[in-house]
Amino acid sequence: MQPIVLISGDGIGPEITESVLRILEAAKADINWISASAGMLAFESSGNPLPDETISLIDQYKLALKGPLTTPVGSGFRSVNVALRQRFNLYCNIRPARTLPGVDTRYGNVDLVTFRENTQGMYIGMERYIDDDENQAETVAIITREASERIIRAAFEYARKHGRKKVSLIHKANILKYTTGLFLKVGKEIAADYPEILFNDMIVDNTAMQMVMRPEIFDILVTTNLFGDILSDLASGLVGGLGMTGSANLGDQHAIFEAVHGSAPDIAGQGKANPTALLLSAVMLLDHINRQDTAEKIRRALYRVLPDKECVTADLGGKGTTGVFTDAIIRNL
Which sequence positions are flagged as catalytic?
Answer: 123, 172, 205, 229
Does 315 sit near Mg ion (CB under 5 A)? no
Does 274 sit near ligand NAI (CB under 6 A)? yes
- Region binding ligand NAI by CB under 6 A among candidate stretches 125-133, 161-169, 270-278, 288-296: 270-278
In our burial notation (b when 16+ CB lie closer than 10 A, e otherwise), range 41-80 reads bbbeeeeebbbeebbebbeebebbbbbbbbbeeeeeeebb
CB of 126 to ligand NAI, least distance (A): 18
Does 68 sit near ligand NAI (CB under 6 A)? yes
Strand 246-250 relative to strand 92-98, pairing = antiparallel
CB of 244 to ligand NAI, least distance (A): 8
DSSP bridge pairs for 168:
200, 221
Site for ligand NAI in 293-332 (CB under 6 A): 315
- Region binding ligand NAI by CB under 6 A among candidate stretches 20-28, 178-186, 264-272, 303-311: 264-272
User: Residues 15, 229, 258, 327: which binds Mg ion (CB under 5 A)?
Assistant: 229
From the number of C-beta atoms within 10 Å of its C-beta (0-12, 13-18, 19+), residue 303 rates as middle
CA distance 19 to 25: 10
Nearer to ligand NAI, 188 or 309 (CB): 309
From Mg ion, ligand NAI, none, interface partner of 267 (C-beta below 5 to 8 A by class): ligand NAI
User: Residues 19, 71, 232, 249: which binds ligand NAI (CB under 6 A)?
Assistant: 71
Contact 38, 51 (CB under 8 A): yes
From Mg ion, ligand NAI, none, interface partner of 229 (C-beta below 5 to 8 A by class): Mg ion
Residues binding ligand NAI (CB under 6 A): 12, 68-71, 81, 242-243, 258, 261-267, 273-274, 277, 315
Residues binding Mg ion (CB under 5 A): 229
